[in-house]
Amino acid sequence: MRLSEDSRKLKRRILKDGLRKNELRDEAFLRVIRSVPKGKVSTYGRIAAAAGYPMYHRAVARLLRTTGPLHGVPWQRIVGAGGEIKLRGEAAAEQRLRLTMEGVKFRGRRVNMDLYEHELRSWETL
């Protein structure tokens, strides 16, 4: 079955609108990530929730993986639930070093979230 010209235009518009929604979501994530001050950390899940997208923690991780260091985003300040560094290998070592240089202390392999978790409030980051 071949799509009519109107159907193709509608399909393009739907796809374009979907991309725009993703861009708006990613901009909201970046705004919240940039609000985490030096020497503090937050989690992927809390970033997503503060940006208005609860349950989108994987989208936050994907965004950081693709844009973090290239756009001056403080990617090192975002950790997994409970303060665990989710990266592996050299990237994990770099994240730990960067956080240590900012004054963040670890308890074993985890950030001490009681001391270093930044309290996010969505109404302040919008």
**The whole model's pTM is what?**
0.79
Q: C-alpha distances in angstroms, 21 versus 26, 34, 85, 95, 100?
A: 9, 20, 29, 30, 36
Three-state secondary structure call for residue 10 = helix
- Going from the N-terminus, what domains does the chain have, and what CATH number goes with each? 5-125 (1.10.10.10)
DSSP letters along 38-97, please? Answer: TT-BEEHHHHHHHTT-TT-HHHHHHHHHHHTGGGT--GGGEE-GGGB----HHHHHHHHH
**pLDDT tens readout for residues 48-103:** 999 999 999 999 999 998 886 667 899 999 999 999 999 999 999 999 999 999 99
